[in-house]
Amino acid sequence: MTGSELRFRLPGRWFSVDLSTEASTTASIAAIARDAVGPTDDRATERAMVRRRLHEAVAAGAAGDIRALMLAHEITPGTPLPVTLLVFEPSDLRMSPAVGTEPRTVLGVLTEALARLDPEAHASSVEVSGPGIPALRTHRVEDAGPDEDVHGTRRLSADYWIPVPETKQLLVVRLATPLGDIENLMLSLFDGFVAAAFFAAPQPSALRQALRR
């Protein structure tokens, strides 16, 4: 667990999934799908699609320490934006003690590792502006499933590898959307989300806040 929290300045309306327990996560996802899509019977397929995307995001981050999971509802009133945002710390990624804490050094080691372990991701890698420090972005575009054609035919998933200041640790911000047909536009939007993020001291838990009163 790192000593800094990554926070976002996101435009529009976003839903945040309660990740405190498995039961809370399931209930939260169901409530978000209902609130985002609506409760009527004719929207059942869309609600199921939202639930599936969020559960898939939880599963994707389960190998590490999940920090946050959010779903965009709209970026401006009346403009829906089907995007999920997942933040996690990979549990199987450890830097050598010889690696310093300078962000570009950490990203350089990561880039070399990607070249060996994931050539496809490495081929798409590009340095972008992160939360006050550089970040490395990799992305993939894949054909969307038949039940996702309500939004588009190609699914875009972008991973932003972000060094945690003054540590050798990395956080991954994964932004995904079924709007892969407008890949460049969505990547530009995602880049803006990450560039506007910032690190801050962890917020105290509700219990600690209560004890301080």
pLDDT in tens, 132-162: 999 999 999 998 766 554 556 789 999 999 9
Residue 187 lies in a domain: yes
Residue 209 lies in a domain: no
SS3 64: coil
**d(C-alpha 184, C-alpha 203), whole Å:** 35
C-beta of residue 36 within 8 angstroms of C-beta of residue 73? yes
Closest CA to 15 of 43, 46, 36: 36
Domain span at residue 163 reads 5-199
Give the up-direction half-sphere exposure of residue 180: CA atoms within 13 A in the CB hemisphere: 18
- Among 65-79, 86-100, 101-115, 118-132, the range scoring the smallest mean pLDDT is 86-100
pLDDT bracket for residue 2 (50, 70, 90): very low
Query: Residue 140 class from Cβ within 10 Å (0-12 exposed, 13-18 middle, 19+ buried)?
Result: middle
Residue 213 lies in a domain: no
Residue 44 lies in a domain: yes
Closest CA to 150 of 178, 130, 182, 190: 178
Q: What pLDDT is stored for residue 36 in this prediction?
A: 87
Number of domains in the chain: 1
Take residue 60 and report the two structure tokens written for it: 């994707």
